[in-house]
Structure 1
Amino acid sequence: MCERPRVIGLDVDPETRCRHYHSENDRIAIRFHCCGKYFPCYECHQAVGCNNTSVWPKEQFHEKAILCGTCGNELSIRDYLDCASSCPHCTAAFNPGCSLHKHLYFEV
């Protein structure tokens, strides 16, 4: 069994919820393009990240950069954007409101 990637942030729980986003469906972490590290949200990255934020360019949407906090499966950006707010591996629901912030992580 592969070890789950480390998720950095403020008050991160086992399913990747954090101080900023902690509803039942807040269960993903994003690997930031700028530093290659997983954070639960952009606010955690601002607080304890690399201070050099950059978004994933469209030509790299094949990269695995989304972590399901329930099963630990890593999704490509394309798979995440196409998944209709649930993990394609374990079917855990993701917060559909995350789409409001996609411009903070991915080129739109």
Structure 2
Amino acid sequence: MPKIYGPIVDEQTRCTHYHTEKDIIAIKFKCCHKYYPCFKCHEESENHDIIRWKAKEFDTKAIICGVCKTELTIHEYLKTTHCPNCQSSFNEGCQYHHHLYFEVT
């Protein structure tokens, strides 16, 4: 499994910013190709702006389920509310931050 960066609270990728039962994903940031649990972790750890994934890149594996460590493409992640491998639920509130990671309309 790729390394997860930032202030991680547990082995399922929860961080100091988001740590509910459903906060179990990490996102590969296009700008540095590092996995972070959230944009706040990235901001605290990196010295550059976030570059969003373009729609034509949504077949890129850029999401990790913190429970089973399955990597999902951006398309797969955006089309579901749970991990297709282990069925763990993802935080529905993350959709409010999609515009920070992905060029979505």
TM above 0.5, one fold? yes
Q: Among 65, 68, 71, which residue is 1:68 paired with?
A: 65
Does the Cα contact within 8 Å between 1:12 and 1:40 map onto a contact in 2?
A: no
Q: CA deviation at 1:52?
A: 3.0
Does the Cα contact within 8 Å between 1:26 and 1:94 map onto a contact in 2?
A: yes
User: 1:24-52 CA deviation, whole Å, 9 max, x = no partner?
Assistant: 00000000010100000000000002423
Distance in 2 (alpha carbons) for counterparts of 1:50 and 1:40: 17
Superposed CA RMSD in Å reads 0.9
Q: Among 63, 75, 80, which residue is 1:78 paired with?
A: 75
Q: Which amino acid aligns with 1:77?
A: I
Aligned length: 104
Tell me the secondary structure at the aligned position of residue 56 of structure 2.
Answer: helix
- Residue segments in structure 1 that go unaligned for 5+ positions in a row: none
- Give the TM-score of the pair, scaled to structure 1: 0.93
Q: What is aligned with 1:95?
A: 91
Q: CA deviation at 1:77?
A: 0.0
- Residue segments in structure 2 that go unaligned for 5+ positions in a row: none
Distance in 2 (alpha carbons) for counterparts of 1:39 and 1:97: 17
Misfit runs of 4+, over 2 Å = none
Tell me the secondary structure at the aligned position of residue 27 of structure 2.
Answer: strand
Q: CA deviation at 1:96?
A: 0.5
Q: What is aligned with 1:106?
A: 102
Report the identity percentage.
Answer: 49
Distance in 1 (alpha carbons) for counterparts of 2:48 and 2:92: 27
